[in-house]
Structure 1
Amino acid sequence: MSIIPYEEHSVTYGDEAKSIFYLAAGPRQGPLIIFVHGWPGIAKTWHPQLQAFASLGFRVVAPDMPGYGRSTTTSVKTDYSQEKVVEGVLAVLHDTGRDQAIWVGHDWGCATVYTIANTRPEVVRAVAGLAIPYGVLERGWAGLLAAVDRHVYPEKEYPYGQLSYMAFYEQSFDKAITFQNKNPHTMLRYLFRKPEWLPENTPSPRANVLKQGGWFGGIDSPPPPSTVKDEELIMKLDVFQEFVAAMEKTGFGSAGCYYMNHKANEAYNLSHSKHDGKLFMPVLFAHARWDSVSDCARNSGATVYMRRKCEKLTETIVEAGHHLAVEKPEDVNAAIARWLVEEVKDWWPGFWSHRFAKQP
């Protein structure tokens, strides 16, 4: 199957003249889906989804999020609050000439699409989150700690649960970033290798990052890239190489700044919520069965807020680790497509001119 070509766009926004880069593909008049990556990522990490949905007739868009790739990178931590990040992503929407989209997010991208759904519901036809439930990351530590399974992570031993690496950023930001920037290539190889499936009720290694003083048990430098072979990667090699080049250029500093705005994110989502946190548009949440950090497939407590606040919620489980859209693209694409057909059918390409005919 031939590759659908990408268009490259960049739009300037804000008083400080920042720019955000994005890829686009598919028919210009097709229903719009915007894919928002997390930590770490670039637009191209959505390659399997961009190709699949463009081929179905959707107009697909994926930005390099602020601080990544070809978008503006700064060292100002407050530039990466969700309020500021949403400003950049909405500039992408406006640049397409549309006033509404279907939004799909992963990891920190979930925080962004959920913040948009909560504070700007008029621009959201529907929203999908991969791995991170609604009401967790974008609500700061209140949402994050409420999602920790205290049967696995007793508070006395694991005050931050599996999220101690997030606390490590807050308490030792320079140390965390210096370590990651010593070898971005290695960091990406470990993050995007085939996941190790932990037995049920086994604490994640990330629960010990704060206690051990850093990643990999607190060692001074990451191991060499060769410790993770190409065949262990879950990402297409050409896309991975482009990803590595982008992260080697920007480093992990701006990416790490996303973790430094929990209080601001919580305050913004509380003060600007349009419906007291309730979402009335269709919502899809895809659990990652073997995600050792966002363990909601095995921890129902992590989804209590989402299930209470989302009026039209659909859930599915993908047999994958945290990076499910990369590891199991066919499964994720199928889940999104089925949800669109069932819950957002008016946005299926050609629906209005060629209504589906049901047989008696």
Structure 2
Amino acid sequence: MTFAVTEHTVKTARHTTGYLACGAQAGPLLIFCHGWPEISLSWRHQLPTFASLGFRCVAPDLRGYGRSSTYTRVEDFAQEVIVQDMLELLAALGRERAVWIGHDAGSMVVWNIAAHHPDKTVGVASLTIPYLPQGFTLDSLVPLVDRKTYPEAEYPVGQWDYICFYHESFDRACAAFDANPRNVIKALFRKGNPDGKGKPSRTAAVRKAGGWFGGPPFPDLPHDPDVISEQDLEAYAAALTRNGFFGPDAWYMNYNANNTAYSRRAVNGGKLSMPALFLHGAYDYVAETMTSKLAEPMRRDCSDLTEVVVKSGHWMAQEKPAEVNAALAMWLARKLPDYWPGEPKGEMIDTP
């Protein structure tokens, strides 16, 4: 038995958000925010699981993705406007607060909601990307690089070189992804490899290589079934082909221009007091938090922080869904017992 996942849309005067929903309408609300270059589908393993526990689960397509509005100006993908999209979604759902759960770029969104709108936040959880109170910018990231893996003379910005590539060659970056979104997904969505520990990530030499894989075209690799099925692959590819990569890539162009100024306006100086959960990817070598100092600002500024290590790569919710679900459920039960639902209610459907 599993709960049905249904498609919905919220339209306001400024933006349209498509989202998936699952679980009893009156259940305590969990909102899941995906990363780059994903869509709401990336939470397919979490929505029915937490619906079965009695939660109301919602996963939006974030700005520029899937069934949500996209735009033609880089500045339309700043964090402040994306956070506003989520607050409009929350209001349309008839709720005052939610537990916000994010991955990758979606983590930046949920951390910003927690920092700027603690009154809208019961708790906040992030997969792979820790909280950076000063904003997810190169100025914040580079001092935290593990210089044993990335000697400064050879890798001045460490694994974050790909962000510089966006800033210096944005049109080239978008064109390389747009040339074959299906191959992009197959090349990127791969399980974690323990053999990569201590070795520089591919993202540390993107400018030198002229692109992620030395420039277009992306290699035609077999998809990794431990992360996505053929059906999932087609859904991702269709969404990215329809919308293009300008919107998803434009998120990176607002890091320094908007996030730092925005971060300065956070409530309580950016310090978070609500329960927070961070899931480390043991084999995530871009958002590497196991040996670097990347998680230290989060530990300093989150007063009620729980940390769990998941033996996965970057695409954690899809590669290791059972482990992710267990960590989230345990945190919700222990840290937010009053938010834990009673008996699950709602329409259920039989599955094979």
Shorter-normalised TM range: over 0.9
Q: Which residue of 1 aligns with 2:166?
A: 169
Determine whether 1:145 maps to 2:161. Answer: no
1:273 to 257, 261, 266: 266
Query: Residue deviations 1:75-101, cap 9 Å, x none?
Result: 211111100110111111111100100
Q: Which residue of 1 aligns with 2:86?
A: 89
Determine whether 1:66 maps to 2:58. Answer: no
What is the DSSP-based 3-state SS (H/G/I as helix, E as strand, rest coil) of the residue aligned with 1:242? helix
**1:334 alignment partner AA:** A
Q: Structure 2: which 5+ runs fail to align?
A: 344-352
What is the DSSP-based 3-state SS (H/G/I as helix, E as strand, rest coil) of the residue aligned with 2:237? helix
Residues 5-20 of structure 1 mapped to structure 2, 5 A cutoff: 5-13=4-12, 17-20=14-17
Instruction: Calculate the aligned-residue CA RMSD, in Å.
Output: 1.5
- Asked if the contact 2:101–2:125 (Cα under 8 Å) also holds between the matched residues in 1, the reply is yes
What is the DSSP-based 3-state SS (H/G/I as helix, E as strand, rest coil) of the residue aligned with 2:46? helix
Q: Which residue of 2 aligns with 1:358?
A: none
- Deviation, 1:199, is 3.9
Provide the TM-score with structure 2 as the length reference.
0.93
Determine whether 1:135 maps to 2:132. Answer: yes
Quote the Cα distance in structure 1 between the aligned partners of 2:88 and 2:287.
29
- Deviation, 1:146, is 2.9
- Asked if the contact 2:132–2:140 (Cα under 8 Å) also holds between the matched residues in 1, the reply is yes
- Deviation, 1:12, is 2.3
Residues 251-270 of structure 1 mapped to structure 2, 5 A cutoff: 251-263=244-256, 264-270=258-264
Q: Structure 1: which 5+ runs fail to align?
A: 352-360
Q: Which moved more, 1:242-251 or 1:24-33?
A: 242-251
- Asked if the contact 2:162–2:206 (Cα under 8 Å) also holds between the matched residues in 1, the reply is yes
**1:266 alignment partner AA:** T
How much identity, in percent, do the aligned residues show? 42
Over 3 Å counting, the alpha-carbon distance change for 1:230 and 1:341 in structure 2 is closer
Over 3 Å counting, the alpha-carbon distance change for 1:208 and 1:143 in structure 2 is same
Query: Residue deviations 1:177-200, cap 9 Å, x none?
Result: 101111000000111123333443
Over 3 Å counting, the alpha-carbon distance change for 1:137 and 1:322 in structure 2 is farther
- Asked if the contact 1:45–1:243 (Cα under 8 Å) also holds between the matched residues in 2, the reply is no
Residues 319-358 of structure 1 mapped to structure 2, 5 A cutoff: 319-350=311-342
Q: Which runs of 4+ in 1 moved over 4 A?
A: none
- Asked if the contact 2:191–2:312 (Cα under 8 Å) also holds between the matched residues in 1, the reply is no
What is the DSSP-based 3-state SS (H/G/I as helix, E as strand, rest coil) of the residue aligned with 1:221? coil
What is the DSSP-based 3-state SS (H/G/I as helix, E as strand, rest coil) of the residue aligned with 2:32? strand
What is the DSSP-based 3-state SS (H/G/I as helix, E as strand, rest coil) of the residue aligned with 1:21? strand
Q: Which residue of 2 aligns with 1:178?
A: 175
Quote the Cα distance in structure 1 between the aligned partners of 2:179 and 2:32.
29
- Deviation, 1:125, is 0.3
Query: Residue deviations 1:133-162, cap 9 Å, x none?
Result: 111794322222233112211222111100
- Deviation, 1:45, is 1.1
Provide the TM-score with structure 1 as the length reference.
0.91
- Asked if the contact 1:193–1:228 (Cα under 8 Å) also holds between the matched residues in 2, the reply is no
Quote the Cα distance in structure 1 between the aligned partners of 2:183 and 2:262.
35
**1:245 alignment partner AA:** A
Determine whether 1:54 maps to 2:51. Answer: yes
Determine whether 1:237 maps to 2:230. Answer: yes
Over 3 Å counting, the alpha-carbon distance change for 1:176 and 1:75 in structure 2 is same
Residues 203-214 of structure 1 mapped to structure 2, 5 A cutoff: 203-214=200-211
- Asked if the contact 2:176–2:218 (Cα under 8 Å) also holds between the matched residues in 1, the reply is yes
Q: Which residue of 2 aligns with 1:354?
A: none
